Structure 1
Amino acid sequence: MEGNKPIFATFDEYIAQFPPDVSGKLQQIRSTIQAAAPDAVEKISYQMPTFTLAGKNLVHFAAFKNHIGFYPTPSGIEEFREELSLYKNAKGSVQFPLDEPLPLELIGRIARFRAAENIEQAAAKQKKR
């Protein structure tokens, strides 16, 4: 049934499909990342809202039945492993339960960390040229 999956072109389209309580949380994450990484660009990748910076993915996020998945890459998880231990997490992802407040301050710090990482990697790549 892959053909029945909706295709989204923008963050707004993605967020609009959810009920107000979930769309509000998605919008909070979006705003937090925008504030933490103001030069990041929004796009849909893997049918999820994705922020990119310096030509690379910064973070992805997506809503599910009982949680919001946040995907800051393995380095983003590892750097904040202790704080993220309160949540179900894996190598490159963490799940924030829908029935709990979002850790927006932590999400912002992770986004800032990832932004610095992307910028540093882009600068190192430029130096090699």
Structure 2
Amino acid sequence: MPTAADPAAEVTAYLASLPEPAHARVEQIRSAVHEATPGLGEKISYGVLTFTADGRTAMHTGGYAGHVSVYPVPGDPALVERCAPWVAGKGTLKFPHAGELPLDLVADCAVWFAGEARSKSARRSKG
């Protein structure tokens, strides 16, 4: 079992544990996020894949039997509007396996979340 000191092994184990098609769809999200926002880190947090920017959590994605999810919903009004068809519950974007996987939207969310995380890191280092 991977230890907390080995986030890459935890990520690998998490991805390997996902059933299809969740595994393939999480990998698609993962690729879109890294392509849109180079330099993000990865770890497992709250039992799902978590992307980090400058050591701060940027966003999460998880794979399940019937869908994949991205957490949380971004705070940008234009993105909130684009995300509306997939909002499920409080702060969750839910993409059923039977439906489209809007990777352009996921990538735009990743850019926004990474910017927010990096901005918080910059403010903290100045203060």
Hey, what does 2:26 align to over in structure 1?
Answer: 26
How far apart in 1 are the matches of 2:30 and 2:75? 18
- Encode CA deviations 1:36-67: one digit per residue, 9 max, x unaligned: 22111111111111111122111111112221
How far apart in 2 are the matches of 1:64 and 1:21? 9
How far apart in 1 are the matches of 2:95 and 2:20? 17
Hey, what does 2:61 align to over in structure 1?
Answer: 61
Hey, what does 1:125 align to over in structure 2?
Answer: 124
How far apart in 2 are the matches of 1:62 and 1:77? 20
Instruction: After superposing the two structures, state which structure 1 stretch, 91-100 or 14-23, moved more.
Output: 14-23
Across the two proteins, how many residue pairs are aligned to each other? Answer: 119
Secondary structure of the residue aligned to 1:10 is helix
Name the Cα RMSD after superposition: 1.9
Secondary structure of the residue aligned to 1:99 is coil
- The one-letter code of the counterpart of 2:12 is D
Task: Kindly state the Cα deviation for residue 12 of structure 1 after the two structures are TM-superposed.
Answer: 2.2
1:107–1:122: structure 2 CA closer, same or farther, 3 Å change rule?
same
- The one-letter code of the counterpart of 1:105 is D
Q: Which structure is richer in relative contact order (CA contacts within 8 A, separation 6 or more)?
A: 2
* Identity level (%): 31
- Encode CA deviations 1:58-114: one digit per residue, 9 max, x unaligned: 11111122211211x35x155411111111334321111111121000000000011
1:97 aligns with 2:96: yes
Structure 1 unaligned spans of 5+: 1-8
Secondary structure of the residue aligned to 1:65 is coil
Could you tell me the TM-score, scaled by structure 2's length? 0.82
Q: After the TM superposition, which segments of 4 or more aligned residues of structure 1 sit over 6 Å from their partners?
A: none
Hey, what does 2:40 align to over in structure 1?
Answer: 40
- The one-letter code of the counterpart of 2:114 is A
- The one-letter code of the counterpart of 2:17 is Q
